[in-house]
Chain A
Amino acid sequence: MKMQMNVIKKYHGTVRAVAVVAVLLSAIGIMAFTLHKDDKSGKADPELFVVKKDSVASVKAFKQVYTVLMSARCMNCHPSGDIPLQGDDSHLHTMFPKRGVDGKGVYAMKCANCHQATNTPGLHTPPGNPKWHLPPADMKMVFQGRTPHQLAKQLMDPDQNGHKNMQQLIEHVDDTLVKAAWNPGEGRTLPPMSHAAFKKAWLTWLSTGAYAPKGK
Chain B
Amino acid sequence: MISLNVNQKAYQVDADPNMPLLWVIRDIIGLTGTKYGCGVAQCGACVVHLNGEAVRSCVTKVSRAEGQQVTTIEGLSANNDHPAQVAWNEENVPQCGYCHSGQIMSAAVLLRDNPNPTDEDIDNAMAGNICRCGTYLRIRKAIHTAAELQRKEVKS
In the complex, A touching B, CB below 8 Å?
yes
Does A150 reach chain B (CB closer than 8 Å)? no
**Residue-by-residue, is A107-127 near B (CB-CB < 8 Å gives 1, otherwise 0)?**
111101110110010101110
A107–B64 Cα distance when bound, in Å, is 20
- Residues 122-137 of A contacting B (Cβ, < 8 Å): 122, 124-126
A116–B18 alpha-carbon span in the complex (Å): 12
Q: Does A95 contact B (CB under 8 A)?
A: yes
Q: How far is the CB of B131 from chain A (nearest CB, A)?
A: 13
Say yes or no for A106: interface residue by CB 8 A criterion. yes
Residue contact B59 to A120, C-beta cutoff 8 Å: yes
The interface size bin for chain A is 20 to 34
Residue on B nearest A110 in the bound complex, by CB: B53
Beta-carbon contact of A97 and B128 below 8 Å = yes
Which 9 residue pairs are nearest across A and B when measured between Cβ atoms?
A108-B106, A107-B125, A108-B54, A114-B41, A107-B110, A108-B109, A95-B127, A120-B59, A95-B128
What would be 18 A-B contacts, judged by CB atoms less than 8 Å apart? A95-B127, A97-B127, A107-B110, A108-B47, A108-B107, A108-B109, A109-B128, A110-B53, A113-B47, A113-B53, A113-B54, A113-B55, A114-B41, A114-B56, A120-B40, A125-B41, A125-B59, A126-B41
Given contacts A106-B125, A108-B110, A108-B129, 8 further A-B contacts (CB under 8 A): A106-B124, A107-B109, A107-B113, A108-B47, A109-B124, A112-B55, A113-B53, A117-B64
The residues of A with any CB-CB pair to B shorter than 8 Å are 94-98, 106-110, 112-114, 116-117, 120, 122, 124-126
User: What is the bound-complex CA distance between A38 and B138, given in angstroms?
Assistant: 65
Contacts of B114 on A, CB cut-off 8 Å? 107
Chain A residue at smallest Cβ distance from B107: A108
Q: How far is the CB of B40 from chain A (nearest CB, A)?
A: 5
Q: Any chain A CB within 8 A of the CB of B60?
A: yes
Verify B124–A107 contact, CB threshold 8 A: yes
B42 interface contact, C-beta 8 A: yes
Query: Are A108 and B125 in contact, with the CB atoms below 8 A?
Result: yes
Task: Check: B99 CB closer than 8 A to any chain A CB.
Answer: no
Given contacts A107-B121, A114-B41, A126-B41, contact A96 B59 (CB under 8 A): no
Return chain A residues, CB-CB under 8 Å to B125.
Answer: 106-109
